[in-house]
């Protein structure tokens, strides 16, 4: 099979992995000579974030989309009727180097279906990274998907070459994984996550204590995982509490949420419809609240509802449920309290704290602080502003703050 055809199949097969933000866009190209650039057919170039926060382009592909496993939610499962392809190790290395030299990409995201055995597959994945690093002195970003059942030594070796390692937890509930992916074992997945965490901790510790010899490198960008949303009946509260457990127990850098997309010839155990994409978006916002805003998983979603509202963001929803905590005097409130004000991001809070060291913040200062005034004014007190109690307590506040519906494009 031609390399280009393999690339087409194996880049398309990798698109369900959520660790990039470029999928789902409209198809555009410049083959008619008008304009520059293309989003179709994609050919596996996606975007991700480097440890320093830079957005980088990655070649995102599978080594093969053949797989011994038959996970019901996966288009690459053994029983799926899709075109199959497999790269050799050298082909992936060549593609990565060629794309890198042409400035198409800054790194590689490599995953694979499981062929022959988890060890054999992992060895192939590691060989790509080893060749890139050792034979080609490749210094770009490498993200490798780890096969949980693979030998510990192989996973340790993967960490020597990769910037980031990830293992998909797949479903929020262990029971769903048993139904939807019977060959997978969530305990094995968690065991491997635990081992990665130990290696990451050891490396961090060695960096602090070993002064002269540099400790062996191990996945400096840490580990991440992906959870499928909407393939089982786990609600948002369950999903967020699973994420909180994963962040706490395994020090994950990120949990990615991937809205389940119906696949051809799907099992009856799967829903017929994809969840609304905005649900995935709300989960990312809630995840952000847990990681950077000091929220606990179980206070973000109302227990009796179980789901995040889709029409407003989770922080606003929390504030509307806790109106007794507002209005907050932003000239006196603590950092933790300020972070809970709808419309205040972490940078805004930093700016507020810095500004109020030298002056009292007034209404006119809000523009300089880059604050969306309509959103925050019902919740804050300034030296020259106090919201009417009827505004904060009124039933219409939610409707006032809800984003206005937008007209979708007609596609012509």
Residues in touch with ligand SF4 (CB under 6 A):
67, 69, 71, 74, 76-77, 113-114, 181
Q: CB of 46: closest distance to ligand SF4 in angstroms?
A: 18
For ligand SF4, the closer of residues 96 and 258 by Cβ is: 258
Q: Which runs of consecutive H residues, i.e. helices, occur in 266-313?
A: 277-292, 297-300
For ligand SF4, the closer of residues 10 and 142 by Cβ is: 10
Q: What's the full length of the chain, in residues? A: 412
Q: CB of 286: closest distance to ligand SF4 in angstroms?
A: 25
For ligand SF4, the closer of residues 184 and 351 by Cβ is: 184
Q: CB of 194: closest distance to ligand SF4 in angstroms?
A: 20
For ligand SF4, the closer of residues 87 and 318 by Cβ is: 87
Which one, of 79, 246, 267, 280, lies nearest residue 180 by Cα? 267
Q: Are 43 and 7 in contact (CB under 8 A)?
A: yes
Q: How far is CA 396 from CA 85, 290, 320, 402, in A?
A: 56, 28, 11, 10
Q: CB of 76: closest distance to ligand SF4 in angstroms?
A: 4
DSSP strand pairing (55-62 vs 45-49): antiparallel
Q: CB of 118: closest distance to ligand SF4 in angstroms?
A: 9
Q: Are 169 and 227 in contact (CB under 8 A)?
A: yes
Q: Are 302 and 256 in contact (CB under 8 A)?
A: no
> Scanning the structure block, which residue is given the tokens 């596996």?
44
Measured CA angle at 159 (ends 154, 164), to 5 deg: 130
Q: Extract the tokens encoding 344.
A: 């205040």
Q: 3-state DSSP call for residue 227?
A: strand
Which one, of 134, 91, 160, 85, lies nearest residue 144 by Cα? 160
For ligand SF4, the closer of residues 113 and 378 by Cβ is: 113
- Preceding amide of 48 cis, omega within 30: no
Chain centre to alpha carbon of residue 400? 31
């Amino acid at each position: 099979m031609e390399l280009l055809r393999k690339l087409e199949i194996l880049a398309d097969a990798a698109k369900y992995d959520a660790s990039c933000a470029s999928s789902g866009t409209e198809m555009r190209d410049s083959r008619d000579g008008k304009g520059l650039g293309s989003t179709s057919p994609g050919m596996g170039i996606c975007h991700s974030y480097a440890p320093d926060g830079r957005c980088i382009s990655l070649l995102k592909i599978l080594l093969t989309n053949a797989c011994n496993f038959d996970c019901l939610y996966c288009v690459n499962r053994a029983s799926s009727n899709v075109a199959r392809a497999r790269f050799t190790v050298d082909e992936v290395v060549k593609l990565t180097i060629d794309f890198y030299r042409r400035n198409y990409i800054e790194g590689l995201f490599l995953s694979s279906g499981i062929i022959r055995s988890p060890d054999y597959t992992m060895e192939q994945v590691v060989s790509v990274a080893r060749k890139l690093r050792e034979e080609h002195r490749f210094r770009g970003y490498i993200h490798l998907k780890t096969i949980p059942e693979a030998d510990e030594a192989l996973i340790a070796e993967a960490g020597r070459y990769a910037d980031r390692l990830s293992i998909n937890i797949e479903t929020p509930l262990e029971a769903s994984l048993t139904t939807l992916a019977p060959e997978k074992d969530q305990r094995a997945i968690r065991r491997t996550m635990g081992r990665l965490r130990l290696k990451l901790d050891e490396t961090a510790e060695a960096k602090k204590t070993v002064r002269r010899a540099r400790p062996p490198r191990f996945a400096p960008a840490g580990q991440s995982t992906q959870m499928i949303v909407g393939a089982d009946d786990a609600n948002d509260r369950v999903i967020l509490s699973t994420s909180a457990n994963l962040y706490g127990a395994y020090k994950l850098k990120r949990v990615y949420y991937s809205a389940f997309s119906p696949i051809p010839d799907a099992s009856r155990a799967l829903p017929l419809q994809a969840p609304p994409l905005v649900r995935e978006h709300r989960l990312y916002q809630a995840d952000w609240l847990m990681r950077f805003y000091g929220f606990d998983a179980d206070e973000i979603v109302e227990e009796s509802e179980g789901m995040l509202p889709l029409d407003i963001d989770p922080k606003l929803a929390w504030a509307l449920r806790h109106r007794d905590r507002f209005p907050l005097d932003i000239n006196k409130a603590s950092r933790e309290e300020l972070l809970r004000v709808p419309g205040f991001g972490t940078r805004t809070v930093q700016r507020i704290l810095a500004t109020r060291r030298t002056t009292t913040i007034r209404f006119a200062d809000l523009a300089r602080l880059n604050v969306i005034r309509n959103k925050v004014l019902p919740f804050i007190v300034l030296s020259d502003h106090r919201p009417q109690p009827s505004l904060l307590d009124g039933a219409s506040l939610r409707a006032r703050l809800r984003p206005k519906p937008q007209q979708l494009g007609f596609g012509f």
